[in-house]
Structure 1
Amino acid sequence: MPRTADHEQRRRQIADAVSRLIAEHGLDAVTVARTATAAGMSVGLVQHYFRTKDEMLLHAFREVSARIRARVDERIREGVTHKQPLAQVMADVMTEYIPLDEARRAEYRVARAFAGRSLDSPALAEVDTGNARQLREDIARAVHNGKECGEVDERLDPLSAAVRLAAVMEGLALQVYREPEGNAGEGVTRFVGPLLDVEIGLVFTGECHQYRRE
Structure 2
Amino acid sequence: MPRTADHDARRRQVADALLRVIVRGGLAEASLSAVAEEAGVSVGLIQRYFTTKAELLNFAFNHLLDRTYERLLAVRPVDDTTETTYLMLEALLPLDEERFTEAVVWVAFLADTLPSPTARKPHVSAMLRMHRALVSAGMSTVEAVMLTSVLDGLILDMVASPELVTPELARACLRRAVDQAFGGQT
How does the TM-score come out when normalised to structure 1?
A: 0.76
Aligned residue in 2 for 1:7: 7
- Contact kept? 2:134, 2:144, Cα under 8 Å: yes
Q: Tell me whether 1:178 sits opposite 2:160 in the alignment.
A: yes
The two structures, once aligned, show a CA RMSD in angstroms of 2.1
Q: 1:98 to 1:56 in 2, by over 3 A?
A: same
Aligned residue in 1 for 2:136: 141
Runs of 4+ in 1 over 6 A off after TM superposition: none
Deviations 1:137-186 (A, max 9, x none): 22222235xxxxxxxxxxxxx1112121111111122222222225xxxx
Deviation at 1:122, TM superposition (A): 4.7
Deviation at 1:84, TM superposition (A): 3.9
- State how far apart, in whole Å, the 2-side matches of 1:129 and 1:162 are: 14
Q: Tell me whether 1:168 sits opposite 2:155 in the alignment.
A: no
Q: Secondary structure at the match of 2:41?
A: coil
- Contact kept? 1:114, 1:124, Cα under 8 Å: no
Consecutive unaligned residues of structure 2, counting only runs of 5 or more, are: none
Consecutive unaligned residues of structure 1, counting only runs of 5 or more, are: 145-157, 207-214
- Contact kept? 1:143, 1:204, Cα under 8 Å: no
How does the TM-score come out when normalised to structure 2?
A: 0.87
Q: Mean Cα displacement is larger for which, 160-169 or 60-69?
A: 160-169
Q: Mean Cα displacement is larger for which, 40-49 or 96-105?
A: 96-105
Which has the greater radius of gyration?
1
Q: Tell me whether 1:200 sits opposite 2:174 in the alignment.
A: no
Aligned residue in 2 for 1:191: 169
Matches within 5 A, 1:148-167: 158-167=140-149
Q: Tell me how many residue pairs correspond in the alignment.
A: 181
- State how far apart, in whole Å, the 1-side matches of 2:114 and 2:181 are: 32
- State how far apart, in whole Å, the 2-side matches of 1:123 and 1:64 are: 18
Deviations 1:3-32 (A, max 9, x none): x97111111111111111001221111111
Paired AA for residue 107 in structure 2: R
Identity in percent: 32
